[in-house]
Amino acid sequence: FWAAYIDEKWFPAMKGIAAATDDEARKAAVGQVAEGLALLEEAFQKISKGKSFFGGDHIGYLDIAFGGLLGWFRVTEGMGGIKLINETKTPGLLKWAEKFAADPAVKDVLPEIEKLTEFSKVIVAKLRAAAASGAK
C-alpha cells in the first residue's frame, strides 16, 4: 500500500512543486507534499517499530521505494528553498533518510545531487512549458 501511495500520490505532488508556474500553485503542491510526509512519518513510526528502516533493522521494499526518490527530494528542497523533512515535523523520516543514504548498500549508488540538479533544470523547464501550454 505505502509503496503504491508514494508512487501514485506523493511523487506526483513532488512533481507539482517543480511544475508550478505561480506561487499559489507552488504553495498548494508543497502543502500536498507536506501532508503526504506527515502520513509517511506516521507510517514509519508504526511500521519500523523503532528500528532504523521501514523494513526494521535492514533496508526493505518500502525503504527502496521511498529511498529511490531521496535524491529528487533533496533537489526539490534545494531548488525550492524549502525544508520538508525536519526535526520538528518529521523526525523519524529525517533520521531514516540519513541512515538510508549512509547505508553501505546505498551510499555508492545514490546520484550526485549536483548532477541531478542540473538534469532537473531541464525537466522543470519542460514541466512548466507543458503546464503553460495546457493552461492556454
Concatenated DSSP letters of 42-97? HHHHHHHTTSSBTTBSS--HHHHHHHTTHHHHHHHHHHHT---S-TTT-HHHHHHH
Domains of the chain in start order, with CATH, are 2-135 (1.20.1050.10)
Q: Which residue has the higher pLDDT, 60 or 127?
A: 60
Whether residue 34 contacts residue 77, with contact meaning beta carbons closer than 8 Å, is answered with no
Residue 136 has pLDDT above 60, yes or no: no
pLDDT class of 16 with cuts at 50, 70, 90: confident
Return the closest-CA partner of residue 37 out of 79, 124, 77: 77
- 47-56, 112-121, 124-133: least confident range: 124-133
Instruction: Give the mean pLDDT of 17-29.
Output: 87
| Angle, CA of 16, 35 and 102, to the nearest 5° | 85
Note the pLDDT tens digit of each residue in 36-94.
999 999 999 999 999 999 989 999 999 999 998 899 888 888 887 888 899 999 999 99
Indicate the average pLDDT of the chain: 90
**Residue tagged 532504523 (cell numbers):** 52
The torsion defined by the Cα of 76, 100, 34 and 91, in degrees rounded to 10, comes to -130
pLDDT class of 128 with cuts at 50, 70, 90: confident
Pairwise CA distance, residues 90 & 71, whole Å: 17
